[in-house]
A and B are shown apart, each in its own frame.
Chain A
Amino acid sequence: MTDEHRINDYVRRLGWSLQRLDPAERTALVDEIRSHLIESAAAGTDALDRALAGLDTPYALGRRFVEEYELAGAVSGSGPRRLLVALLGRSTRRVAGASAVFVAILCYLCALIFAAMAAIKPFAPGRVGAWRVGSGWEAGILIPTSNAPELLGLWIIPLSIALAIASYLAGTLVLRHTARLMLR
């Protein structure tokens, strides 16, 4: 196989590995690696061998590009979905990423529950609320203990909305902070 064939084969496989990226970004990355390999090959086959070894396999290089792009893009953007997906990709290798994903998922679950409480309360007022039970209390979407006095009434709707927003923001804050730490 000639040097030219080896270069074309490498960049074609790299292009396949970068399918998750925007086409313009993918083209730019592939062009740069092609340029690098062509210039290395100009110094001889040994130099091309070293360059290919230094780049690692097209799949490994593509994976590194995708990880870096997703994380950089996620931090500059504001969408929690992108942050979650990007950190999930790294969480298998990094404890910080795994912990952040776990905490963020808990926060988003709490946000979902609070939002559901606010939405259901007007239609099933007896099922959603906060009740005094014995010396303590319980709250949520449940069947209340009979004759237990309700504490908040309709005030639980704005309170649930506020807690849903706070939980959502807390989850996103954890993801964004962890992503920034991992980018350093």
Chain B
Amino acid sequence: MMPCNACIRVTKGSMDVESWQSQLRKGAAELVVLAALDRQRAYGLQLLATINAGGELVTEGGLYPLLARLEKAGRIAAEWVLPEAGGNPRKYYVLTDEGRQLLAAMRGRWAAFRQTIDQLVEE
């Protein structure tokens, strides 16, 4: 059976939206990770659970390279910790002073950006 033109258009439109949403998530990932670490120190799996509690924002494959870069750039610091109850060692991350300054600057820009977009987009 041949697909109708309307179906093709809808499918293509959905793919465009998915791609756009993926770019939005990617752009927000650094801010979201820094904000989560500002609340408490956390290890990778814990960060994923916190960040994705309301819907998937960051994947494992995006999170760990991002953490590696932030650590390399001195915006977060890490230490390996063995849980007191035993078990798997975990690499915990905390914000550095530089990371905290970056987060403050990003929050300011984010607020202004959100306000501008809201004004333009909201019906």
Interface residues, chain A, with chain B CB atoms under 8 Å away: 28-29, 31-33, 35-36, 38-40, 42, 51, 54-56, 60-61, 64-65, 67-69, 71-73, 75-76, 183-184
Classify the interface of chain B: helix, strand, loop or mixed.
Answer: helix
Bound together, the chains give a CA A35 to CA B72 distance in angstroms of: 20
Q: Are B73 and A40 in contact (CB under 8 A)?
A: no
Bound together, the chains give a CA A28 to CA B72 distance in angstroms of: 12
Q: Are B90 and A54 in contact (CB under 8 A)?
A: no
Q: Are B61 and A72 in contact (CB under 8 A)?
A: no
Interface size class of B (residues with CB under 8 A): 20 to 34
Among the listed B60, B65, B68, which residue makes an inter-chain contact with A36, where contact means beta carbons less than 8 Å apart?
B60
- CB of A38 to closest CB in B, whole Å: 5
Q: Are B72 and A73 in contact (CB under 8 A)?
A: yes
Q: Are B45 and A54 in contact (CB under 8 A)?
A: no
Interface residues, chain B, with chain A CB atoms under 8 Å away: 30, 43-45, 59-62, 64-66, 68-69, 72-74, 80, 88-91
Among the listed B45, B69, B91, which residue makes an inter-chain contact with A183, where contact means beta carbons less than 8 Å apart?
B69
Contacts of A184 in B (CB 8 A): 30
Q: Are A38 and B61 in contact (CB under 8 A)?
A: no
Q: Are A51 and B60 in contact (CB under 8 A)?
A: yes
For B71, give the chain A residue with the smallest CB separation.
A72
Classify the interface of chain A: helix, strand, loop or mixed.
Answer: helix
Q: Are A65 and B44 in contact (CB under 8 A)?
A: no
Known contacts A32-B91, A35-B88, A35-B89; decide if A65 and B73 are in contact (CB<8 Å): no
- CB of A103 to closest CB in B, whole Å: 24
Contacts of B80 in A (CB 8 A): 31
Q: Are B91 and A69 in contact (CB under 8 A)?
A: no
Q: Are A69 and B69 in contact (CB under 8 A)?
A: yes
5 pairs, CB–CB < 8 Å, chain A vs chain B: A33-B64, A36-B44, A67-B65, A73-B72, A183-B73
Q: Are A56 and B61 in contact (CB under 8 A)?
A: yes
